[in-house]
Structure 1
């Protein structure tokens, strides 16, 4: 199936998608800040430039988009056009995520991932519950947490 818009229009549309300050990220940031957690944003010194860095807890949180990171959920669908490009891109993103996570763990950082489907879509979790789960994880000694929608 061919795309319904021209390649130039599709390129402009894709270039306009934000990588920072996304809605899921803002929900997490606002909620955790209200609970008293303080963090740095997008620290370039750390592998993967985590969305939120909690130095006090030696923890980072990534707010991952289900499409861009190829999450196995109802939000992610393989594009029907330009399939080879998208498969290579998403698989490369997943490989880079694994490498960044491994480097962060080697540096002693704890890693949290909150998937987009946890905060939007038909299987989402109440955003307050997601924030509480993140807060509980930050204050625990658990090495990692991954929060996705209820499937």
Structure 2
């Protein structure tokens, strides 16, 4: 299936997609900061360059976009064009996520993932519930956290 827009327009559209300071990430950051948590952003020294690093709690949080990380929810759908390219790209993203989680765990860091579908779309959770779940997890010693939208 051919692309519906010109290569120049597609390039401009793709260039506008952010890798950091995304809307879901900003929602989490604002909520956790208001709850009294202090964190560092995008620490290059840690595997996967986590979105938020909580040194006091020895924990990191990732705000994953459902499309880019191939989440099995209503927000993810395989693109109809360039199927081989997208399957390889999203597959690599999943591998990188898995490797980063293993490396963080081996280094003694707890890691959590908040999926985009938990914060937007028809399956979203109330933001206060997401922030409260993250705060409870940070204060605990549970090794992992995953927050996803309602099924």
TM-score range, shorter chain: over 0.9
Distance in 2 of aligned mates of 1:38 and 1:110: 16
**CA-CA distance at 1:9 after TM superposition:** 1.5
3-state DSSP of counterpart to 1:79: coil
Q: Mapping of 1:1-151 within 5 angstroms? A: 1-151=1-151
Moved over 2 A (4+): none
Counterparts of 1:12 and 1:88, CA distance in 2: 22
Secondary structure, aligned partner of 1:31: helix
In 2: Cα distance, 1:124 partner to 1:134 partner = 15
1:45 CA drift (Å): 0.5
Structure 1: gaps (5+ residues): none
**What TM-score comes out, normalization by structure 2 length?**
0.98
* Superposition TM-score, scaled by structure 1 size: 0.98
CA RMSD in angstroms, aligned pairs only:
0.7
**Partner-residue secondary structure (3-state), 1:101:** helix
Please, which runs of 5 or more residues in structure 2 have no aligned partner? none
Deviation at residue 16 of structure 1 after TM alignment: 1.4
Distance 1:118 1:10 in 2: 28
